[in-house]
Amino acid sequence: MSSDEMIYRVLGESGPQVSAVCLGTMTFGQQTGESDAHSQLDLALERGVNFIDTAEMYSVPPRAETYGATEIIVGRWLARQPRESVVLATKVAGPARSMGWIRGGPPALDRTNIRAAVEGSLRRLQTEYIDLYQLHWPERNQPMFGQWQYDPGKERECTPIRTQLEALAELVEEGKLRHVGLSNEHPWGVMEFVRVAREFGLPRVLTTQNAYSLLNRVFEYGLAEVCHREQVGLLAYSPLAFGHLTGKYLADPGARGRLTEFEGFGQRYSKAGVQPAVAEYAALASKHGLSLTQLALAFVYRRGCVASTIIGASSVLQLEENLDAWPIVLSDEVIDAIDTIHVRCSNPAP
């Protein structure tokens, strides 16, 4: 069963209308050169993708030498496009990951750092405004990127959420930002951002960008209800689980990819339960005449809780494969089988 036409969804209550597939760009400047990156962007636009996501810390893995490289590459392409044809999202790096080359830390998601990050992104992206500006991860103590237990003993001082929103509000008022969102957030964080915005008349978050795939459905356990009731859209990243859900690591654990090329990368996918779960999903895909990539992407693309799915690729051929999976609509039988595997192999890569 298929539906070839790209569909578009409004983010939040009255945000921009974006394609259900978003092009992620974190490979640009590291795994993907500028010419190939621009070819990916051209292809995405041709295939109905109007939504592009990047971040100030990219390329990935983050290094001082490639800081801002992705935004520069995207900016050179964007300068040749009608600006209104693209919904552009980027992010400010917070202090929870040690990247001393970004504003000396950065020390906080405070007014000074958020403003400096926005102005830097605007220069690199060669644009006067950013459509969706996201806090890349919470400043406060939270388990992230493969961690899964909240530890109150790690509490630390951090910039109040109201202060973060007030800093963003100034930039919205100046026309530098159109809308704001979150990334790698948790239920309490989304609710608090919504509550503070409502109470103090500050910009309301439209989205949260979180990992979501066959191997990581943690979003469904608490955030799904919060985001549905508060009209906060999920921008689902890593739908292919850093290549695991292409199946390439089943046949060859040393296959070329981010997980093998970059030491210590992808902590959440190194857990013991990942490969057995991948094997089960691969068998299910084969039974129904699908590739594992098609099964994994089709599941996320049309999941009711997903506003847009962020796909990334290191080559045009990979991107074509990912976009070609868009028309596939999984049957109820396949969805039921996925849920059966999920119960047995629940969230091996949270």
DSSP state of 204: P
Could you confirm whether 269 is annotated as catalytic? Answer: no
How far, in Å, are 3, 271, 293, 314 from residue 253 at the CA level?
A: 35, 14, 17, 19
**What gap in Å lies between CA 183 and CA 249, rounded to an integer?**
28
User: Could you tell me if 210 and 241 are in contact, meaning their C-beta atoms sit under 8 angstroms apart?
Assistant: no
CA quadruple 30, 31, 33, 38: dihedral positive or negative? negative
Number of neighbouring beta carbons within 10 Å of residue 123: 13
DSSP per-residue letters across 240-291: TGGGGGGTHHHH-TT-SSHHHHSTT--GGG-STTHHHHHHHHHHHHHHTT--
Q: Vertex 299, ends 296 and 300: CA angle to 5°?
A: 90
From 8, 58, 133, 212, active-site residue: 58
Main-chain dihedrals φ then ψ at residue 134, nearest 5 degrees: -120, 145
Number of neighbouring beta carbons within 10 Å of residue 61: 16
Residues annotated as part of the active site: 58
